[in-house]
Amino acid sequence: MFKKVLIGNRGEIAVRVIRACKEWGIATVAVHSDVDADSMHVRLADESVCIGSHQPQNSYLNIGAIMSAVDLTGAQAVHPGYGFLSENAKFAEIVNKHGIKFVGPSAELIRKMGDKIEAKKIAKMYGLPIIEGSEGSVKNFDEAKKICSTIAYPVLIKAAGGGGGKGMKIVEKESELENLFLTAKSEAKKYFGNDELYIEKYFKNPRHIEVQVLSGKNRTVHLQERDCSVQRRHQKLIEETPSPILTEEVRSKLLSSTVSMVEKLGYEGAGTIEYIYEDKKFYFLEMNTRIQVEHPVTEVVTGIDIIKEQLWIAHTGNTALQQSDINPRGHAIECRINAENPSKNFQPSPGTISVCHLPSGFRTRVDGAIFQGCKITPYYDSLIAKLICHGRNREEAIQRMKRSLDEFVIEGIDTTVDLHKKIISHDKFINSNFDTNWLAKEKII
């Protein structure tokens, strides 16, 4: 195993990786910006190096400074966490070129899967269903009609140069198409000076479902799916596993086709394939070539430490796991605790945590980097902790989550704790009757 690993990240994920390293007996190096000198990941690591000022591009995105820290400390591998440089192909390439192991897939695969069009092509080639639509722009109404009849209504007309919802039209049935197509075209011309239009399938009630994989040169295994459909502004807020809405038939198809695709890809490391799910069908969205925020729900039901496995695969090239080792038990839910004020449209809430009490107890896990007196600076992501509860079934996991949220005390800043209490007590959440647009539409706060 590696003797020393540098963690190129901060916050809760840096703490998470340091813990996994320690359990492998690996020495750890934290890097930090000047304002993070007193943060938890710096305190827990064996060594730490300040790599620059508060702005991410000067520190956590500063490849030169991180490479100097690697050189200075003699680290043999770099774990990038999520965000920052974790999906930066150039960084992975530079790390590997210097004989240091980048904990993740090859730079080439990061680049390929990071390119949306390329990733979609690859997914299709390796047998995954993709979101149907026009390939390139639609020239005229006749072509639009033909495309729409193959992908089936409802469809979404989008302006090639568009954004902010302008020039977007939802077409429910064919009789509406001509009118809406022409309106979209003239609006696109007016707003963007470009009347090129695309057409793709429109999802009315999409769920976000993703599959966790661990893959080495020898084989690929899946660790079941996660359902991440409680979102605000397209960012996940609550994740759970297993998905409460998948039938066994759909689930087994989803898992087997994902494994088959990742195997063909020749992927090494932990990865997640994200899908849109609607009407018993799933559609490839993208692949994340890194660890994800919500990985703990999978860990608690499978009993597999995904970060430790990542390190093992990085070291040996192979996964030690067989599919038969993965026997998920029960149900797990994660609530993201963010430093923001849900009643003020999720306005960021930096400040000093004056009182901090973390929930604990049976099958309750908190992954975080907060403590009494710590400062939440405005320079980075608002995620400060994750609360993960495991139950024999979904009902018990919800009960445990309620109990744990009631124990959670954070004073000095606003957080999403109270919002989570309302969501998980809501009938729609309990009955799993929601989609990714739910929070935007429903007044919960």
Active-site entry in 10, 290, 365, 400: 290
Minimum CB separation of residue 54 from other proteins in Å reads 6
Q: Give the residue, chosen from 339, 387, 401, 405, that forms a contact with other proteins under the rule CB under 8 A.
A: 339
Minimum CB separation of residue 232 from other proteins in Å reads 12
Nearest residue (CB) to other proteins, 12 versus 309: 12
Minimum CB separation of residue 233 from other proteins in Å reads 10
Q: With binding defined as CB under 8 A, does residue 148 bind other proteins?
A: no
Q: With binding defined as CB under 8 A, does residue 12 bind other proteins?
A: no
Minimum CB separation of residue 274 from other proteins in Å reads 20
Q: With binding defined as CB under 8 A, does residue 433 bind other proteins?
A: no
Nearest residue (CB) to other proteins, 339 versus 424: 339
Residues 393 and 398: their CA atoms lie apart, in Å, by: 9
Please choose, out of 162-170, 340-348, 362-370, 389-397, the segment that lies near other proteins by the rule CB under 8 A.
340-348
Q: With binding defined as CB under 8 A, does residue 343 bind other proteins?
A: no
- Sketch the per residue contact string, 66 through 85, with other proteins: x for CB under 8 A, - otherwise: --------------------
Minimum CB separation of residue 375 from other proteins in Å reads 8
Nearest residue (CB) to other proteins, 160 versus 374: 374
290 is catalytic: yes
* Radius of gyration (C-alpha) of the chain in whole angstroms: 23
| Cα-based distances in Å from 188 to 12, 19, 183, 184 | 43, 51, 8, 6
Nearest residue (CB) to other proteins, 72 versus 409: 409
Q: Give the residue, chosen from 46, 47, 348, 428, that forms a contact with other proteins under the rule CB under 8 A.
A: 348
Sheet containing 281-288: order of strands: 281-288, 269-278, 207-215, 220-232, 235-241, 331-338, 383-391, 364-368
Q: Give the residue, chosen from 54, 219, 251, 421, that forms a contact with other proteins under the rule CB under 8 A.
A: 54
HEC per residue, the chain: CCCEEEECCCHHHHHHHHHHHHHHCCEEEEEEEHHHCCCHHHHHCCEEEEEECCCHHHCCCCHHHHHHHHHHHCCCEEECCCCCCCCCHHHHHHHHHCCCEECCCCHHHHHHHHCHHHHHHHHHHCCCCECCECCCCECCHHHHHHHHHHHCCCEEEEECCCECCECCEEECCHHHHHHHHHHHHHHHHHHHCCCCEEEEECCCCCEEEEEEEEECCCCEEEEEEEEEEEEECCEEEEEEECCCCCCHHHHHHHHHHHHHHHHHHCCCEEEEEEEEEECCEEEEEEEECCCCCCHHHHHHHHCCCHHHHHHHHHHHCCCCCCHHHCCCCCEEEEEEEECEEHHHCCEECCEECCEEECCCCCCEEEEECCCCCCEECCCCCCEEEEEEEEECCHHHHHHHHHHHHHHCEEECCCCCHHHHHHHHHCHHHHCCCCCCCHHHHCCCC
- Sketch the per residue contact string, 359 through 378, with other proteins: x for CB under 8 A, - otherwise: --------------x----x
Residues 80 and 62: their CA atoms lie apart, in Å, by: 13
Size of the site for other proteins (CB under 8 A): 19
Residue 133 tokens, joined: 């639509």
- Sketch the per residue contact string, 403 through 432, with other proteins: x for CB under 8 A, - otherwise: --------xx--------------------
Nearest residue (CB) to other proteins, 285 versus 376: 376
Nearest residue (CB) to other proteins, 367 versus 381: 381
Q: With binding defined as CB under 8 A, does residue 182 bind other proteins?
A: no
Q: Give the residue, chosen from 1, 251, 350, 421, that forms a contact with other proteins under the rule CB under 8 A.
A: 350
Residues 134 and 435: their CA atoms lie apart, in Å, by: 25
Nearest residue (CB) to other proteins, 354 versus 393: 354
Residues 405 and 418: their CA atoms lie apart, in Å, by: 8
Among 157, 175, 177, 176, which Cα is nearest to 167's? 157
Q: With binding defined as CB under 8 A, does residue 381 bind other proteins?
A: yes
Minimum CB separation of residue 27 from other proteins in Å reads 32
Q: Give the residue, chosen from 33, 88, 257, 382, that forms a contact with other proteins under the rule CB under 8 A.
A: 382
Q: With binding defined as CB under 8 A, does residue 192 bind other proteins?
A: no
Q: With binding defined as CB under 8 A, does residue 114 bind other proteins?
A: no
Q: Give the residue, chosen from 151, 379, 396, 428, that forms a contact with other proteins under the rule CB under 8 A.
A: 379
Nearest residue (CB) to other proteins, 57 versus 431: 57
Q: With binding defined as CB under 8 A, does residue 347 bind other proteins?
A: yes
Nearest residue (CB) to other proteins, 74 versus 373: 373
**Footprint of other proteins on this chain (CB under 8 A)?**
54-55, 339-340, 347-348, 350-352, 354-355, 373, 378-382, 411-412
Positions annotated as catalytic residues are: 290
